[in-house]
């Protein structure tokens, strides 16, 4: 187990280096001129400004040199400076990351809880109406384009019915809680500000739910199929031969065995959640990594793009590693080998 | 085990019989419609008696016992008949009432110990569960009794092993755990469904001895399901022979074995290797060795320990033997003995770490390229699993013809003719060349595999557990086929098996392997009469010899 | 001629050898052809295939059945749905319904092509890695790992940004992101098939490794790959639209669905502009997913009987 973890940790720098390199060279192979973003369209005609900007931003160096500079800065924790915001990429990411994490966390929670319940119900009512409905719903969940659903929900629940709050993390003119974790929900609770918590929570519900849809469908299907498979397992028959009723067997044996793969799913879902974040945040005016990624991409902001890819990669890899550890904890066969 | 005096054909209506099954029929709903698995079967079990239900696959023996326990698969149902246990009609009881019966009055010891235990829960908790479910004990008391049971079935250091998981136990020990679970509440009847078939032969004997001892002490009646007639004869008082869902014959072991009334029973008795007295082959004529191995050695490096250090694992350790032309050399061993690895090295499907391999006196250890290609024509395999041996996407004809295609033998028309010839040689209708593997039975597939092996007219055929997966009657047919092919074509065989009785039937020389080394060698007659090595003796003792040697 | 006479219980070959129970490898069970056709008649497959067929017809005949020219204004701007314009008009006065129909010609074939290429590239890489092992395997799988560690949307965005806007570049971006999935899948399949006895037998005859790969190993991985590809098709269609939504795929005046939804987001209260392409996309993806789900149920032996 220890060896397994160590091996994975050792592999991470290699993978991250790969990500950084690919992101770096991809973002710089663009044909358009990033100077447009840096100095503005108007100043492009002014040779002095252009020259000064080129020097200042290191764009006069050759590409391999720029790469080397970037890597060495990276090792010192410096992710470069954004062309657009003119502030360090690390700071930019730092302020925006909690917003996305908060959203992702709730989306994950919804998907896992609702998904597990749905899957268990579907398995128990197998072949009957409830199962059919749930299976179709699960399939539908994976079939919906997240950004479109976001628009639809906003239109129906906000613009038309007025139930949902306006897009954004908080209502207009509401001051965010003092920054401890960056999660508005947690921070407002820590500050003892209940109305603020409610406001933040209400704004979270819709985007988090929509973000959870794709994952929700997968969880329902996975739990259902795992439970059905476990129900047919030999040890279930042996348990019944001991005199256990179907319900007892389900609760004491099948459930735990079936839930285990859901844990592995969490590692995989990080990718899905990041995708959801990128698409949803722009619609819901959520100031997180997703919005940053889109804006950087449009503005050809190399350092920002590379930084976002790096952060995304780290989150993905850490998520995978935690999942593997969790799985090893649950399944004694993996733990003890 | 009390000796019953009646012949068990169900004349006693409620006269002290513990279990009475009358005219039972069971059907399954499948894609192809309803299929009847058991038709009008009847049997009786008296208290303390051991009744064995014997049959090949598809005989319905497991289904019958599942019906007694009312644990049929969801698509199965009882269509006719009665099951009376301790005077009560089990088929009429509700699910809830059955739950009270299962485990407490009727116990089950299932077959495959790995899949029959929940891998994510400790072994001890699964035993304790029997007690808690029937409200016989709770908490610490249940744990204490579970530990006691573990000790009772022969697991040492029971208190510590209580908390361990199934995969930390060996196969034999897991089976003992299942026995502990089945007998935990001292049921009146224990259903043992092929309880040792998945285990090594020497382990089988120990586990079955343990089971006998426990059931004798507790006075438990046992309904033993097995495919092995000899095993049934050794362990049971009564035998019920089933075929295709029907009871063909039943009676005391002595009666059935010495004076069988049904033809099928006679066939079974004749085919059972451990009951057979004569080998199928005569003594070997002296001949030059066609294959010779010297000092063969195979090492793997395996990761072990917390830091994953690579340690060498010796699968085959200094093995030497020869295969004289026209004879059958057998290698016998349990799992992990290295016998299959030896086979693969002789076939040159695995490299040797050390040692020499000689073919017709010439070394072939390090050959490659064209030489290796030529060598392949002379040594061919037949493997164990008839389902996996043939590629399901190709017809029988394609499969048998493939070696000819690869080596460019003859014209296409000649190859087709040869395929027909080969199929006839293995007693198959040449028309079968157009069929796909899934349309064939296990025995037929194995014949096709043999035909393919013969396509290139090899000198040596390596048979790796080639009959182990077949029903005993089919097994006997294939063995006879192999012997006749050997006589007609002058083939030499390397016959690998875990079953010493089978090996004795067909081999001229036998080598006994354990943990990578050859422990003893000799002709079957020698080994059976005067085994020198304790391991050989243990193997022999593990062969169920049956009650009487048949005529 | 069935294997066991008269039981509906799982068929086993015979008594179990001391070392294990032989069974058919999971993907190898086949029933007679007649029965196979019947098994495909599940509601999911029928509905899914039906809808897909419908859209194929739309793609073929979009020019004929569209009431208006999708690229030219045919009415006032931002008109709500009416008899003349079934889904209203967009910000440039173009008929939304016609644009939706023509959009199918863009979104769907691109997605199919992207998946096909991903499958081909990925399978090739996976087959080579799995079969030859050693350092080849290690290098190829590390490359796959790195690509998979890249959050797919970000990588697609980066590639699309680097290559510039345009649907064909979005297509390449998707292939770049998607191939490792099939590389892993095929590699896993090959690793498990490699040790099967019919492969050993082929080696014993002296067949060359590449021939064995081609004849005996790859065909067996066909089923899981095709099931997976069908299920992935929906995700790719959505991904294409997502990239266009973000401005990285199709460019105006293209009637690609994702781009249309961007237009619809910009004109939020004219709901019909986004509703049309959205519902179209959902129907296609749902149909494809139904089809894939149904196919998996039929072809995956383990799921049989559920």
Q: Closest chain C residue to B111 measured between Cα atoms?
A: C16
Q: What is the mean pLDDT of chain B?
A: 88
Task: Determine whether the interchain pair C146/A309 forms a contact, defined as Cβ–Cβ distance below 8 Å.
Answer: no
Contacts of C107 in chain A (CB under 8 A): none
Which chains lie within 8 Å of chain B at 3 or more CB pairs, if any?
A, C
The residue of C206, C207, C217, C306 whose CB has the most chain B CBs within 10 angstroms, and thus the best one to mutate to test that interface, is: C206
Domain C55-62+87-300 coded CATH 1.10.3720.10: yes
Rounded CA-CA distance B111/B363 in Å is 46
Which chains neighbour C (Cβ–Cβ under 8 Å, 3 or more pairs)? A, B
User: Which residues, in sequence order, are CB contacts of B432 under 8 Å at separation 6+?
Assistant: B396, B423, B440, B444, B448
Residue C16 DSSP class: P
Check residue B347 and give its pLDDT: 93
Residue A189 backbone zone (phi > 0: left; psi -120 to 50: alpha; other: beta): alpha
Identify which of C18, C23, C204 has the shortest CB distance to residue B380. Answer: C204
Q: Which residue has the higher pLDDT, A1 or C147?
A: C147
Helix axes A289-299, A255-283, angle to 10 degrees: 50
User: Which regions of B9-141 does DSSP assign to beta strands (E)?
Assistant: 19-30, 33-45, 50-54, 76-85, 88-89, 106-109
Cβ contacts of residue C227 below 8 Å, gap of 6+? C292, C295, C296, C299, C300
Q: ∠ CA(B131), CA(B134), CA(B137), 5° rounding?
A: 45
CB B223 within 8 A of CB B232: no
Interface test with C, best of A21, A23, A26 (most C CBs within 10 A): A26
Q: Using the beta-carbon criterion (under 8 Å), do C8 and B27 form an inter-chain contact?
A: yes
Whether residue B32 lies within 8 A of chain C, CB to CB, comes out as yes
- Please name every residue paired with B379 in a beta bridge, in sequence order, or none if there are none: B460
Domain ranges of chain C: 55-62+87-300
Cross-chain Cβ contact C289/A279 below 8 Å: no
Give the pLDDT band (50/70/90) at residue B176. very high
* Helix locations, chain A, DSSP H: 2-28, 35-39, 47-56, 63-75, 89-124, 129-143, 146-153, 184-190, 194-231, 234-241, 246-249, 255-283, 289-299, 302-330, 332-336
Judged by CB atoms closer than 8 Å, whether chains meet at B456 and C18 is answered as: no
Interchain pair C14, B498: CB under 8 A: no
Give the pair of three-digit tokens for residue B82. Answer: 């009665």
**Residues 272 to 301 of C: which have CB under 8 A from any A CB?**
274-275, 277-278, 281-282, 285-286, 289-290, 293
> Measuring CA to CA, which residue among C15, C24, C6, C19 is closest to residue B57?
C15
| Chain B residues closer than 8 Å to A235 by CB | 115-119
Collect all residues of chain B within an 8 Å Cβ-Cβ radius of residue A256.
Answer: 120-121
Closest CB to A245: pick one of B71, B99, B181. Answer: B99
Q: What percent of chain B has pLDDT over 70?
A: 94
H helical segments located in B324-411:
339-346, 369-376, 396-406
**Which pLDDT band, with edges at 50, 70 and 90, does B328 fall under?**
very high
**Reported confidence tier of residue B366, pLDDT bands at 50, 70, 90:** confident
C26 in contact with chain A, both atoms CB, cutoff 8 A: no
Identify the CA nearest to A210 among candidates A162, A276, A116.
A276
Instruction: Find residues 33-62 of chain C whose CB sits inside 8 Å of chain B.
Output: 35, 39
Per-residue pLDDT of chain A (337 residues; tens, 9 = 90+): 566 677 777 777 887 888 888 877 777 766 566 666 666 767 777 777 777 777 777 777 777 777 887 788 877 777 777 877 888 888 888 888 888 888 888 998 999 899 989 888 888 887 788 888 888 888 888 888 888 888 888 888 888 888 888 888 888 777 888 878 878 888 888 888 888 888 888 888 888 999 898 888 888 888 888 888 887 888 888 999 998 988 888 888 888 888 777 777 777 787 778 878 888 888 888 888 888 888 887 777 778 888 888 888 888 888 878 877 777 777 777 665 5
> Chain B partners of A335 at a C-beta cutoff of 8 Å?
none
E strands of B134-245, at which residues? 189-193, 221-226, 238-243
* Inter-chain touch C302–A155, beta carbons under 8 Å: no
Give which of B109, B133, B169, B187 to mutate to test A binding, by max A Cβ within 10 Å.
Answer: B133
| CB-CB under 8 Å, C234 with A309 | no
Which residue(s) pair with B99 in the sheet? none
pLDDT-derived band at C14, boundaries 50, 70, 90: very low
Task: Give the separation between CA B382 and CA B458, rounded to whole angstroms.
Answer: 12
Instruction: Give the pLDDT band (50/70/90) at residue B517.
Output: very high
pLDDT over threshold 90, residue B398: yes
Chain A residues with CB inside 8 Å of C43's CB? none
Lowest average pLDDT, out of B303-307, C51-55, C63-67, goes to: B303-307
Q: How far apart are CA C152 and CA C177, in angstroms?
A: 6
Select the residue of C153, C164, C281 nearest A145 (Cβ to Cβ).
Answer: C281
Question: Which residues in chain C touch residue B62, judged by CB atoms under 8 angstroms apart?
Answer: 9
- Say if the Cβ atoms of C303 and A270 lie within 8 Å: no
Residue A175 gets which letter from DSSP? P
Rounded distance, CA A138 to CA A83, Å?
A: 42
Choose the mutation target among C23, C45, C100, C151 for the interface with A, i.e. most A CBs under 10 Å: C151
pLDDT category at C190 given cuts 50, 70, 90 is: confident
Q: Which residue of B has its CA nearest to A245?
A: B99
User: Can you give the pLDDT at residue A30?
Assistant: 64
B84-108 as b/e, with b when 16 or more CB fall inside 10 Å?
bbeeeebbebeeeebbebbbbbbbb
Q: Does B514 touch chain C (CB under 8 A)?
A: no
Does A14 contact C303 at a Cβ distance shorter than 8 Å?
no
pLDDT of res. B151: 92
Residues in A closer than 8 angstroms to B96, CB to CB, are: 245
Cβ of C19 within 8 Å of Cβ of B372? The answer is no
β-strand partners of A290: none
| Rounded CA separation B144/A336 (Å) | 25
Contact call for B95 and A245, based on CB within 8 A: yes
pLDDT, position A335: 63
When mean pLDDT is compared across A104-118, C203-217, C262-276, C288-302, the lowest value belongs to C288-302
């Amino acid at each position: 187990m220890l060896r397994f973890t160590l091996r994975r940790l050792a592999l991470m720098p290699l993978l991250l280096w790969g990500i950084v390199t690919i992101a770096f060279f991809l973002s710089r192979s663009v044909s358009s001129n990033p100077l447009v973003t840096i100095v503005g369209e108007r100043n492009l005609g002014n040779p002095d400004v252009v020259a000064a900007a080129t020097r200042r931003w290191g764009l006069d160096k050759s590409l391999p040199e720029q790469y080397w500079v970037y890597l060495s800065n990276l090792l010192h924790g410096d992710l470069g400076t954004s062309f657009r915001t003119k502030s360090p990429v690390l700071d930019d990411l730092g302020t925006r990351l909690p917003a996305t994490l908060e959203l992702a966390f709730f989306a994950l929670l919804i998907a896992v809880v609702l998904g597990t319940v749905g899957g268990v119900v579907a398995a128990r009512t197998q072949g009957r109406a409830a199962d059919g409905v749930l299976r179709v719903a699960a399939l539908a969940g994976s079939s919906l384009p997240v950004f479109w659903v976001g628009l639809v929900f906003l239109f129906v629940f906000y613009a038309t019915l007025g139930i949902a709050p306006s897009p954004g993390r908080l209502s207009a003119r509401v001051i965010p809680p003092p920054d401890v974790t960056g999660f508005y929900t947690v921070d407002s609770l820590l500050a003892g500000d209940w109305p603020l918590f409610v406001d933040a929570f209400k704004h979270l519900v819709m985007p988090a739910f929509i973000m959870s849809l794709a994952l929700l469908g997968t969880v329902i299907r996975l739990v259902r199929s795992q439970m059905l498979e476990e129900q047919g397992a030999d040890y279930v028959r042996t348990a019944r031969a001991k005199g256990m009723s179907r319900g007892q067997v389900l609760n004491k044996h099948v459930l735990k065995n079936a839930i285990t793969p859901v844990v592995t799913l969490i590692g995989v879902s990080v990718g899905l959640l990041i995708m959801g974040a990128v698409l949803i945040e722009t619609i819901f005016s959520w100031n997180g990594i997703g919005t940053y990624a889109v804006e950087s991409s449009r503005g050809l902001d190399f350092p920002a793009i590379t930084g976002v890819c790096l952060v995304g990669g780290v989150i993905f890899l850490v998520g995978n590693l935690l999942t593997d550890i969790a799985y090893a904890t649950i399944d004694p066969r993996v733990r003890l080998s | 085990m009390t000796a019953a005096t009646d012949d068990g054909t169900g004349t006693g209506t409620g006269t002290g019989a513990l279990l009475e099954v009358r005219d039972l029929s069971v059907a399954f709903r499948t894609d192809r419609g309803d299929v009847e698995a058991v038709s009008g079967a009847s049997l009786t079990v008296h208290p303390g008696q051991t009744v064995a239900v014997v049959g090949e696959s598809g005989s319905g023996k497991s289904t019958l016992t599942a019906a007694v326990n009312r644990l049929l698969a969801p698509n199965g149902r009882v269509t006719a008949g009665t099951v009376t246990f301790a005077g009560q009609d089990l088929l009429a009881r509700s699910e809830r009432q059955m739950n009270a019966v299962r485990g407490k009055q009727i116990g089950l010891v299932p077959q495959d110990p790995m899949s029959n235990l929940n891998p994510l829960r400790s072994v001890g908790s699964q035993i304790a569960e029997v007690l808690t479910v029937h409200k016989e004990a709770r908490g610490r008391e249940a744990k204490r009794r579970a530990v006691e049971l573990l000790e009772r079935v022969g697991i040492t250091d029971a208190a510590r092993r209580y908390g361990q998981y199934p995969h930390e136990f060996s196969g034999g020990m897991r089976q003992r755990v299942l026995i502990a679970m089945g007998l935990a509440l001292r049921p009146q009847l224990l259903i043992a469904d092929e309880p040792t078939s998945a285990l090594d032969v020497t382990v089988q004997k120990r586990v079955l001895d343990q089971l006998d001892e426990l059931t004798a002490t507790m006075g438990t009646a046992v309904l033993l399901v097995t495919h092995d007639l000899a095993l049934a004869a050794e362990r049971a008082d009564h035998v019920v022979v089933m075929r295709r869902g029907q009871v063909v014959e039943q009676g005391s072991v002595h009666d059935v074995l010495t004076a069988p009334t049904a033809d099928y029973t006679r066939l079974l008795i004749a085919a059972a290797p451990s009951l057979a007295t004569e080998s199928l082959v005569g003594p070997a004529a002296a001949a030059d060795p066609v294959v010779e191995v010297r000092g063969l050695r195979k090492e793997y490096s395996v990761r072990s320990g917390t830091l994953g250090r690579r340690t060498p694992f010796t699968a085959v350790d200094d093995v030497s033997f020869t295969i004289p032309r026209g004879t059958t050399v057998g290698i016998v061993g349990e799992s992990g003995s290295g016998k299959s690895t030896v086979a693969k090295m002789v076939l040159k499907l695995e490299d040797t770490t050390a040692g020499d391999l000689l073919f017709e006196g010439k070394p072939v250890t390090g050959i490659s390229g064209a030489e290796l290609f030529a060598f392949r024509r002379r040594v061919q395999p037949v493997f164990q699993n008839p389902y996996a041996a043939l590629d399901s996407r190709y017809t029988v004809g394609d499969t048998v013809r493939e070696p000819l295609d690869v080596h460019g033998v003859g014209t296409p028309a000649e190859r087709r003719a040869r395929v027909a010839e080969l199929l006839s040689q293995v007693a198959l209708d040449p028309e079968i060349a157009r069929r796909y593997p899934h349309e064939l039975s296990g025995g037929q597939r194995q014949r096709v595999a043999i035909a393919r092996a013969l396509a290139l007219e090899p000198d040596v055929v390596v048979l790796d557990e080639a009959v182990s997966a077949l029903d005993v009657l089919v097994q006997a047919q294939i063995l006879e086929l192999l012997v006749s092919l050997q006589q007609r074509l002058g083939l030499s065989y390397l016959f690998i098996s875990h079953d010493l009785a089978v090996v004795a039937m067909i081999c001229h020389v036998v080598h006994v392997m354990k943990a990578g080394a050859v422990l003893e060698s000799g002709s079957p007659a020698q080994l059976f009469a005067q085994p020198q090595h304790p391991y050989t003796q243990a193997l022999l003792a593990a062969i169920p010899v049956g009650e009487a040697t048949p005529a | 001629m069935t294997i066991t006479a008269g039981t509906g219980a799982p068929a086993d070959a015979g008594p179990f050898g001391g070392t294990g129970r032989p069974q058919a490898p999971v993907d190898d069970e086949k029933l007679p052809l007649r029965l196979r056709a019947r098994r495909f008649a599940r509601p999911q497959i029928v509905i899914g295939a039906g809808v897909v067929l419908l859209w194929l017809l739309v793609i073929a005949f979009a020019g004929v059945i569209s009431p208006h020219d999708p690229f030219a204004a045919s009415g006032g701007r931002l008109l709500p749905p009416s008899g003349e314009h079934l889904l209203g008009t967009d910000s440039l006065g173009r008929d939304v319904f016609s644009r939706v129909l023509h959009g199918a010609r863009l979104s769907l074939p691109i997605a199919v092509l992207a998946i096909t290429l991903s499958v081909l590239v990925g399978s090739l890489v996976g087959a080579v890695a799995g079969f030859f092992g050693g350092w080849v395997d290690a290098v190829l799988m590390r490359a796959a790992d790195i690509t998979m560690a890249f959050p797919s949307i970000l990588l697609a965005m980066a590639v699309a940004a680097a290559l510039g806007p345009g649907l064909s570049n979005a297509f390449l971006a998707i292939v770049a992101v998607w191939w490792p999935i099939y590389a892993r899948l095929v590699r896993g399949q090959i690793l498990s098939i490699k040790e099967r006895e019919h492969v050993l037998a082929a080696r014993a005859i002296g067949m060359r490794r590449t021939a064995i790969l081609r004849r005996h190993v790859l065909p067996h991985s066909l089923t899981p790959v095709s099931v997976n590809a069908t299920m992935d098709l929906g995700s790719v269609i959505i991904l294409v639209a997502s990239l266009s939504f973000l401005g990285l795929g199709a460019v105006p005046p293209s009637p690609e669905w994702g781009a249309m939804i961007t237009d619809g987001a910009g004109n939020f209260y004219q709901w019909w502009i986004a509703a049309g392409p959205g519902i179209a996309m959902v129907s296609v993806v749902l149909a494809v997913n139904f089809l894939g789900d149904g196919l998996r149920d039929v072809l995956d032996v383990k799921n049989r009987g559920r």
